[in-house]
Structure formats: structure tokens, C-alpha cells
Amino acid sequence: MILSALLTSVGINVALCLLFLILYSILKRKQSYANIYLPRLVSEGKSQLGDEYSFERILPSVNWVKRAWQPSEEELLANSGFDAVVFMRIITFGLRVFGVAAIIGICVLVPFNYMGNQLNMDFTDLPNKSLESFSISNVDDGSNRLWIHFCAVYVFTAVVCYYLYSEYDYISCKRIGYFYSSKPQPHQFTVLVRSIPKSSGSSFSDRVESFFTEYYGSTYLSHSMVRRTSKLKGLINNADKLYRRLVHLKSKNDTQQRFGRASFMGLFGKRVDRLDSYEKKLEDMEDNVRTERSTIAGKEVPAAFVSFKSRFSAAIASHIQQGVKPTEWITEPAPDPKDVYWPFFSASFLKKWMCNIAVIVACVLITILFLIPVIIVQGLTHLEQLEIWFPFLKGILNIKIISQVITGYLPSLILEMFLSFVPPVMVVLSSIQGYIALSQIEKSACIKVLWFFIWNIFFANVLSGSALYRVEFFLEPKRIPEILAVAVPGQASFFIAYVVTSGWTKTVSKELFQPKSAVWISLKSIFCWSSDEEFEVPSIPYHSEIPRILFFSLLGVTYFFLAPLILPFLLGYYCLCYIIYRNLWKEEKSAGMAGIWRSEDWMNGRRERVVGAVGVVNNSGRWQQATALR
């Protein structure tokens, strides 16, 4: 990629970032967009923004940046939880490390790379030349200047190790302090027991009680069996949605919105009173739920929550083998009630093993299939290769502005469009691996996405972009390190464009401006669509954002001494992340990797709102009832 094409890509993305920032600063002060940009205030009923059509509200402002700097780490911990603190520490770690790397790379390495003569490049027409003149590829073979690069690598390694140690020490102390300052939680005294062996003449509950009374007589407290149902999950979810609509409709006190059409978003059908209709449906659902609950009393599955009198006893029971067969009496720490994922509680060891194998095969197939868009993208970065594939485009590709957009901006945009489907797919694959906690699913998806980024964006782009176009790569295996030494720095311009497109523009648009939600709100206001759904505060998608941040760290570490020009763009990305996510933590409620358990009053009695389960936990840490739903 030539310098002018890279500058074109950077210019387009900078213009998009500025446009999104301006639109965000204007729309966030409008009441109709408060659900998107002020979710915490909306959930607390404090989003009264005043006159929506005043002149001051149509002018862009940067006051939100100043307010994003104000909250301290203690305030962030109190408002958004420990996950938010660790997430921000990852970003500040990148700022510190690559701040030092940028000083060394730009001030020391770039001048020495530029003074090399290995590529024999003519710098009189610099905009039409490659960026490799600023990379290590331009240093002469056997030059003594390479010792400067070696010394820079050692210095950078020492800096990274120091910051890693200090961050690990800080977060560990913070985590221990957070643990001791919080109240004891029920799941800390409880273990989950699965694969309980069957016994003729006794139920699973009797087996659990006799087993733990015999081996943990002095510390065993109680147990609660997990039960299976077929219809109760759907009934509870439907009733829960209807209840939230009813509460939301009552809170509005708007007569016009109370009456509407019966079908297709209130546009067609017979005109009805929504409040009366929802109350009647809710009464019918409540009767159905009671009936279904009475029929599941005996449907036990070989899994139970076993509570102990101390956390130490629960920890011992969760880390030792309970039975002679390793596939029976399997124990593990119980997840937090709001973190439970129920479908695999009754799954056998063989079923979980087969699911893991299927997920591994699916991940391999997705990785292989993703090579197709990667090869297409890399073909766009090499016009000469593109002209060979499509000779009829030769006349169009000779137009300067078109060639700059195609080689500079289009490849990273196409790659990012394909990558947007990867995190949701990885969450689905992780959910069928047999995990029993939502946080475990999120962590597994995070690891899968990270490895996918490393293999399919870094290695696949490096190989398909330069190395695989050389015949020597296949005919002379001994020259592979030499070819890669030239190929990897040659892809620096592509990764710079990718950082700007995927880092700058996507972070600003997706996490700050949120164009999809903004367009949807605009369409609803134009066509006067009303929604009865209760508003829920969104949370940060850790499984997609953490891998992206770590992948950019990999790019920075790799290209620190190979092509240091990437470092200022990485620093710009981390700065944007710091401001934007601090603003999001201030406006949004972080659900962390769970956050979906709560109980409320329902109609005239007690209504347990649970996603995928029905259960009650009292203050002593005992699991009174747990019903797994499938």
C-alpha cells in the first residue's frame, strides 16, 4: 500500500469519527434519544433534558469529554463494579506501554530505518511510495544499525514486564480488598454436584443427603435438587415480558398510548385497551405457571446445590474427587444465582465431551472459511494482483482516487464487516459447551474471538498478503524466515488502516454514537411507533471488546521495531477507548458477566423474575429451591 492510499484511508476514517462525535454531542441532549445515550438516567427517571428545540441543543459540545475524566477509580468501582475497573486498567496499561514504545520507535527507530538503503527507493515522489522505507526492511543487510533495534527490543521488553508486574500486583490487591469488603454471598458456601449416580429405591435427593451426611457430617448444611421442566421456562419468560410491558405502560400515564391497534406494532387490527388486555393475559399466564409448577415436583435431574456451614468446607468439597469414578459426583463451585446458565445441568459427561468436540470442529471450519474474505481483502491491497484477476477493471483502477480508496480504505472496511459476525457466533458455540455460568460462556467466547483475531487477521493477512505470492515460499523452505522478515513489515500499512477503521471508527460509531439504535429511534418518531417494552440498561460486550484491545496490543508489540509508524495510531485508539468507555461507564450500568437475577412483586403475590430459572436464596446462604428449565 502506498502512502497516498494510507492517507486516504486515514482521512476518511477521521472524517467519519468527527461526524459521529458531532452527532453524538447533539443527539445526547435530546429527550427522544435519552434511551440510547443516557440509559442510567432514564432507568432512574432523571432524564428530563428540558427544551428539545432550543438553539444551544443543536450546537456540538465537548463538555461530555470533561465529565468523562472526572469520576475517580473508587467512584467507578462503586457505580459499575470491579469488571469495569479491570477493563479500564487494560486500556491504561496499553496507554502506558505504547506511550513509551512510541517515544522509542518514532524518535529512534524511524530515523535509522529511513536512512537505510536496502530497498533503493526514490524519495522524490514520496506519496506514491510504500511505507516500507520507514520499516526495518530498509535497513541494510548486516548493518550495525540493527544493534539499535535489538537494544530497543530489550528496553521495550523490560518496560512491558515491569508494567505487567505492577498491574498484576495492583489488580490482585484490589481484588482481595474488594472480596473482603463485600458481604458473604450464598454461592460462596455452596457447591454444585452433578452426575449423581442412580440408585433403585431411592431418589436423587436421598442419595445426596446420605452421601454428604456420611462424608461431611460436621460441615454439611443442606441441599436443593435441580428439577427439569418442559413448558415452564417459556411460560415464565412470556409472563415476564408481558409484566414489564404492563409496568411500562402504567408508568407513562398517557391515554393516547393506552389505546392502540391489536397487531403489527399497533398499526393494524381492532382498537383495544392495552392495559386491560395485558392484565387479562397476565392472569391467564399466572394460572398456567401455577399449574405447570405443581406438575414438576418430582422431575429431578442428577444435579444439586449443596450448602455448607463455612466457605472453607465448600472450597474443599469443590476441589477434591468425591467418588471412585471420576465421572460421578462431580463437584464445582456454584455460580452466583444471577450468573446461572441452566440447560446443561443434567448433561452427562459423554454429552459434554461430544459438544466440546463439535465446537472445536465448528471453530476450525469457521477459521478455514474465513480465509476466503481475507484473500479477497489482500487482493484489493495489491492492484497488480487485482488487474491479473479482473483484467476488465484495468481502466477503472488507473484512476488515482479510485485506486487509493480501493487499496487504502476498502480492504479494512470489508474485513471489519465480516468480523462483525464472529463474536455472536462464538457466544453461541460457547453456550453449547456445557458451561453452567454465563460468565464462563463469556470468558470462553472471549478466548475464541481472541484466537480467531490472531490467526485470521494477523497470520492469514501476513501470509496471504505477501508471502504466499512468492514461489520461494513453497520451493525453498529454508528461506521461509527470510521471506517472512520482509513480508511482515510489508503488511504494516494494511494493519495501520485496520487500526484506524476497526479501532477508531468502529469504537466511536458502535460504542458512542450507536447508529443502528439512533436510526431506529428516528424511524419510530417519524412513523409514530410506540413501544410497550420496559427499558433495560445495556452492558458492555466484553467478549468482543477485550479481544479487540488485546489484538491491537499484539500488533503494537509485533510492529514496535518492524514498522514503528503504527504506534501513533495505536495510541490514538487507546485514547479514544479511554474517553469513550469512561463516558459509557458513567452513563450505563455494567452488568459485568452476569446481572440478570432479581425478584419483584408480581400481581397480588410473590413473582420471581428469573431468566432460565426459578429459585429463592435466603440470607443464610441456603438454596431453598432451584428449577432448571430447558
Buried b / exposed e over 95-110, threshold 16 CB at 10 Å, is: bbbbebbbebbeebbb
In this structure, the answer to whether residues 147 and 119 fall within a common structural domain is: yes
Lowest-pLDDT range of 252-266, 282-296, 380-394, 484-498: 252-266
Statement: residue 136 has pLDDT above 60: yes
Q: Is 559 within the bounds of a domain?
A: yes
How far out from the chain centre does Cα 21 lie?
Answer: 22
Q: Are residues 202 and 240 in the same domain?
A: yes
Measured CA to CA, the distance from residue 269 to residue 531 in angstroms comes to 16
Residue whose grid cell is 428539545: 52
In terms of domains, do 451 and 387 share one? Answer: yes
Strand duo 220-229 + 623-629: pairing: parallel
What local confidence, expressed as pLDDT, does residue 613 receive? 33
Assess whether 357 and 303 both reside in one domain. no
pLDDT of 141 over the 90 cut: no
Return the higher-pLDDT residue of 626 and 403: 403
Q: Is 135 helix (H, G, I), strand (E, B) or coil?
A: coil
**Least confident stretch, 74-88, 297-311, 369-383, 523-537:** 523-537
User: Is 78 inside a domain boundary?
Assistant: yes
Write down the pLDDT at residue 620. 31
Checking if the pLDDT of 585 tops 90, the result is no
Q: Are residues 214 and 293 in the same domain?
A: yes
Q: Are 142 and 224 members of one domain? A: no
344 found inside a domain:
no
At 247 the pLDDT is 72
pLDDT tier, 146 (very low <50, low <70, confident <90, very high otherwise):
confident
Q: pLDDT band at 262, cuts 50/70/90?
A: low
Give the highest mean pLDDT range of 42-56, 154-168, 284-298, 425-439.
154-168
pLDDT score for 295: 64
So what's the pLDDT on residue 211? 92
d(CA 194, CA 334) in angstroms, rounded, equals: 11
Q: Which residue has the higher pLDDT, 384 or 582?
A: 582
Is there a domain that residue 341 lies in?
Answer: no
Question: Residue 605, Cα to own-chain centre: how many angstroms?
Answer: 38
**Residue 365, pLDDT score:** 92
Instruction: Identify the pLDDT of residue 377.
Output: 73
76 pLDDT above the threshold of 60: yes
Per-residue model confidence (pLDDT) at position 523: 72
- Please give the full DSSP string across 306-322, using - where no structure is assigned: EEESSHHHHHHHHHS--
- In a shared domain, residues 547 and 471: yes
How many domains does the chain divide into? 2
Q: Which residue has the higher pLDDT, 312 or 403?
A: 312
CB 25 within 8 A of CB 583: no
Query: What pLDDT score does 128 carry?
Result: 55
152 or 298, which is more confident: 152
Residue 306: pLDDT band (50, 70, 90) is: very high
The answer, yes or no, to whether residue 226 has pLDDT greater than 80, is yes
Are 369 and 270 contained in the same domain?
Answer: no
Q: Please determine, for residue 594, whether its predicted confidence score (pLDDT) is greater than 60.
A: no
Q: Tell me if 340 is assigned to some domain.
A: no
Task: Let me know if residue 342 belongs to a domain.
Answer: no
607 band by pLDDT with thresholds 50, 70 and 90: very low
269-283, 374-388, 414-428, 468-482, range with greatest mean pLDDT: 414-428
Q: Is residue 343 part of a domain?
A: no
Cell numbers representing residue 130 in the block = 510504500
Cα dihedral 37, 41, 42, 46, rounded to 10, equals -130
Please report, rounded to a whole number, the percentage of residues in the chain having pLDDT higher than 90: 19
Query: Which SS3 state, helix, strand or coil, does residue 261 take?
Result: strand
Which domain, by its residues, includes 82? 3-182+351-595
Indicate if 410 and 532 belong to the same structural domain.
Answer: yes
What's the pLDDT band for 294 if we cut at 50, 70, 90? low
The answer to whether residue 346 is domain-embedded is: no
Do 210 and 173 sit in the same domain of this protein?
no
Residues 149-185 pLDDT 10s: 889 999 999 999 999 999 999 999 998 988 888 888 8
Which segment of 557-561, 589-593, 603-607 scores lowest on mean pLDDT? 603-607
Q: At what angle do helices 3-27 and 400-408 cross, to 10 degrees?
A: 70
17 close to 505: Cβ distance less than 8 angstroms: yes
Task: Return the pLDDT at 363.
Answer: 92
pLDDT bracket for residue 195 (50, 70, 90): confident
Domain co-membership, 531 together with 405: yes
Q: Is the pLDDT of residue 597 over 50?
A: no
pLDDT digits (tens, 9 = 90+) for 508-556: 887 787 877 777 777 766 665 555 555 556 677 888 889 999 999 999 9
Mean pLDDT on 303-310 = 91
Place of cell 490487591: 173
Q: What is the pLDDT of residue 375?
A: 74
pLDDT category, 359, cuts 50, 70, 90? Answer: very high
Q: Region 415-423: what's the mean pLDDT?
A: 85
Q: What is the mean pLDDT of residues 603-624?
A: 32
Q: What pLDDT shows up at residue 599?
A: 26
Distance CA 299, CA 255 (A): 46
**Residues 298 and 428 both lie in one domain:** no
